[in-house]
């Protein structure tokens, strides 16, 4: 699952995961964009679905989680890719730091902090009972993932 999956970075991550053989859930605020990317990936020999999800709305994230559970039965990876900035929260020649509106800054903090926390809470709570006993009984080596040249690389250490 990739939040912000239809965005620039999220799209690259989704494509790399599909090429690596993963079933991908493209979670994005824009349902049409998520479904379009998923359809593109399915046509390119990967299994993907697009799901509308507002990462700042717990009920939206919970609905997305239910949809993933119904379709796939589980989720092994959550990439918190939703985030970004807003033009109103950027400094410029016309808008110095001292004049940045607090509500614009608050919306950026909410998106980048709560937009990561809420999906992590919802999907983590859902996966915890499935994964924790396995992790205790069968420890696995640490894996580091990197995205380079639009390829997903795994290094076990």
| Beta-carbon count within 10 A of 71 CB | 13
Helix (H) or strand (E) holding 18: helix 8-19
Tens place of pLDDT per residue across the chain (157 aa): 999 999 999 999 998 998 888 889 999 999 999 999 999 876 666 688 999 999 999 999 999 999 998 888 888 889 999 999 999 999 999 999 999 999 999 999 999 999 999 999 998 887 766 555 444 444 444 444 444 444 444 444 4
Nearest CA-CA partner of 118 in 82, 145, 85, 86: 82
Q: Is the pTM of this model over 0.85?
A: no
Ranges of H-type helices in 20-150: 31-43, 58-72, 102-109, 115-137
Nearest CA-CA partner of 22 in 133, 157, 150, 152: 152
Map out the domains of the chain as residue ranges: 2-83+100-150
**2-83+100-150: CATH class:** alpha beta
């Amino acid at each position: 699952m990739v939040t912000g999956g239809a965005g620039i970075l999220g799209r690259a991550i989704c494509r790399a995961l599909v090429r690596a053989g993963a079933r991908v859930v493209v979670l994005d605020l824009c349902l049409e964009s998520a479904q379009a990317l998923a359809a593109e990936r399915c046509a390119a020999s990967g299994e993907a679905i697009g799901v509308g999800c507002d990462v700042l709305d717990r009920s939206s994230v919970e609905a997305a989680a239910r949809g993933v559970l119904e379709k796939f039965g589980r989720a092994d990876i959550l990439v918190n890719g939703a985030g970004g900035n807003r033009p109103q929260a950027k400094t410029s020649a016309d808008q110095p730091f001292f004049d940045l509106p607090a509500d614009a800054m608050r919306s950026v903090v909410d998106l980048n902090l709560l937009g990561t926390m809420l999906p992590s809470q919802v999907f983590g709570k859902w996966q915890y009972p499935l994964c924790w006993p396995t992790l205790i009984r069968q420890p696995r080596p640490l894996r580091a993932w990197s995205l380079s040249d639009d390829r997903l690389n795994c290094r076990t250490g």
